[in-house]
Amino acid sequence: MKNNQLPQFGNLSELKSRFIFLILALVVYRLGVHITVPGINVPLLMDQMTQPGEGQGLSAMMNLFSGGAFERMSIFMLGVMPYITASIVIQMLTVVYPPLEQIKKEGQAGRRKITQYTRYLTIVFAAAQGTAYAFGIVNGSLGFNSSIVVIPALNFVLLAVITWITGTIFLMWLGEQISERGIGNGISMIIFASILMGLPTGVSALFDTARTEGGALAYLKVVFVILFVMAIVLLVVFIERGQRRITINYARKQQGRQMSIGGQTTHLPLKLNMAGVIPAIFGSAFLSFVYTISAALAKIEVSVAEGPVSGFAKFGYLASQFFQKIGNYGVKYFTPGQPAYMILFAALIIFFCFFYTAIQFNSKETAENLKRSGGFIPGIRPGIQTSQFFDKVLTRITLWGALYITAICLLPEMLGAIFNFPSYFGGTSILIAVVVVMDLIAQVQAQLVSQQYSSVMKKANISSALNGKPPSI
């Protein structure tokens, strides 16, 4: 009995090593979150973290993906958002820019070039975002008191930007290592770890609010929040497993004296939500960028000179006043929970659902592949009509998928504004967490099936039986 169990235990050794690598990588990430960027008065920063400020809306959005690195001004303050933004921009360019589209079709070599371009663009985005944050911290436009900076402002900006760029590059490398040596998509696992680390804080804040309000109604609200989150999780699992299965028939073929082959009927599964969590992530990243720029513009000082003003001085005064008003409007209307924020968020989600689905599934290429392999959809002619049929079906299911993601992301936002939910129970965080866990389970199952198949092949000793040669038909 023991002899039968030992080989099975050995088969799981690779899976165990992958899990160990994943856990160690995430531990390294979480340790880096608690390392503050140089030039900051850490005790004063810790005091400000417990006090509400004007940058709390931005902090809530950024902490969702950084696991508290934003409010701690960590070396990982930018997180993986510059990399995600760069990846999406490159994917968009491969559709509209022919040279990049040609590189993408070059196979493995083309993918390596695309990856290299994504890394370069990540550095550009990290530098731009880091510079905006550094100046925002210096002038206090991000909700932090500028007195926490204990070194000259220019020195802090240079040091902070270099540190944050390095941190983003390290997380990008760490995510690639997790994808290669661990389990699951590395970048998604880093975001998932950030969301998971915020869960205890969210639960604690929920019970603290109920304790402060007092009464049975406050604790009834806690029960409602828990049941609501469970319902959202069940809905996400149900929808993410939903498919539109298109019947594909293959014509019979006669090859010489061989028996006819083909004549099979299979199904082409099209997921209801092909875009996954990309629309929610990119929409949140874009809104955080809008809020950052608005907060910086709102802090512009408009100095009024005594006496008549003309020429360049008047232009500077009018420009400062104009940009300050834009910043004030941005801070006022694009804070989470505001109608303008929700409308823009919904528009971004719907747009990226359609756009990312178009990138993931090429209807013309799929129709041509079916035509070459002798496959056809019953009642639909191969070629152009098949491609048009795919477009029609994808448009319908993507519309419902986009509405589903929009509802998941915005409904908790609206209820949170009414019932004062913690931001950790937002729809975006729930959607990302559930989808990443489902993907992780699928990859673990694939690993187990692959290792079980390898074990069966070794036990059957097929390779030695065939003397290392493939079977002849």
Block residue for tokens 């109920």: 210
At 318 the three-state DSSP class reads: helix
> Does residue 131 have a pLDDT over 50?
yes
**Lowest-pLDDT range, 38-52, 57-71, 120-134?**
57-71
Q: What angle do CA 194, 198, 200 make, to 5 degrees?
A: 140
The pTM for the full model equals: 0.78
Separation CA 84–CA 65 (nearest Å): 11
Q: What is the DSSP letter of 249?
A: E
Separation CA 36–CA 69 (nearest Å): 9
At 248 the three-state DSSP class reads: strand
At 129 the three-state DSSP class reads: helix
What pLDDT was estimated at residue 453? 67
Q: Hey, what amino acid is at 373?
A: S
At 245 the three-state DSSP class reads: strand
What pLDDT was estimated at residue 121? 92
> Does residue 50 have a pLDDT over 80?
no
Q: What contacts 186, CB < 8 A, 6 or more positions away?
A: 25, 174, 175, 176, 177, 178, 179, 180
> Does residue 162 have a pLDDT over 90?
yes
Q: What contacts 358, CB < 8 A, 6 or more positions away?
A: 95
Summarize the confidence of residues 51-80 as an average pLDDT. 68
Pairing of strands 265-271, 375-376: unpaired
Q: Hey, what amino acid is at 85?
A: T
Residue 382's pLDDT band (boundaries 50, 70, 90)? confident
Strand order in the sheet with 243-250: 265-271, 243-250, 375-376
**Is the separation of the CB atoms in 375 and 334 below 8 Å?**
no
Closest CA to 113 of 125, 101, 127: 101
pLDDT in tens, 139-157: 776 666 767 888 888 888 8
What pLDDT was estimated at residue 254? 57
What pLDDT was estimated at residue 245? 87
Structure tokens at 168: 């983003």
- Name the more confident of 413 and 446: 446
What pLDDT was estimated at residue 215? 73
Residue 171's pLDDT band (boundaries 50, 70, 90)? very high
Summarize the confidence of residues 18-42 as an average pLDDT. 89
Tell me the C-alpha to C-alpha distance, in Å, between residue 315 and each of 195, 300, 310, 321.
Answer: 46, 15, 8, 10
Summarize the confidence of residues 176-180 as an average pLDDT. 90
- Name the more confident of 364 and 200: 364
At 244 the three-state DSSP class reads: strand
**Lowest-pLDDT range, 2-16, 173-187, 252-266?**
2-16
Q: Which residues does residue 270 pair with via DSSP β-bridges, in sequence order?
A: 244
Q: Hey, what amino acid is at 170?
A: F
Closest CA to 288 of 125, 165, 416, 460: 125
Separation CA 275–CA 353 (nearest Å): 6
Q: Which residues of 72-97 are buried (b: 16+ CB within 10 A; e: fewer)?
A: bbbbbbbbbbbbbbbbbbbbebbeee
Separation CA 453–CA 455 (nearest Å): 5
What pLDDT was estimated at residue 10? 45
**Is the separation of the CB atoms in 76 and 62 below 8 Å?**
no
Q: What is the DSSP letter of 272?
A: S
What pLDDT was estimated at residue 25? 92
Radius of gyration of the chain (CA): 27
Summarize the confidence of residues 87-96 as an average pLDDT. 82
Separation CA 412–CA 409 (nearest Å): 7
> Does residue 256 have a pLDDT over 60?
no
Block residue for tokens 């890394």: 119
**Is the separation of the CB atoms in 33 and 68 below 8 Å?**
yes
**Is the separation of the CB atoms in 428 and 198 below 8 Å?**
no
The string of DSSP codes covering 364-422 is HHHHHHHHHTTEE-TTS-TTHHHHHHHHHHHHHHHHHHHHHHHHHHHHHHHHHHHHT--
- The domains found in the chain, sorted by start residue, are 16-250+265-302+313-453 (1.10.3370.10)
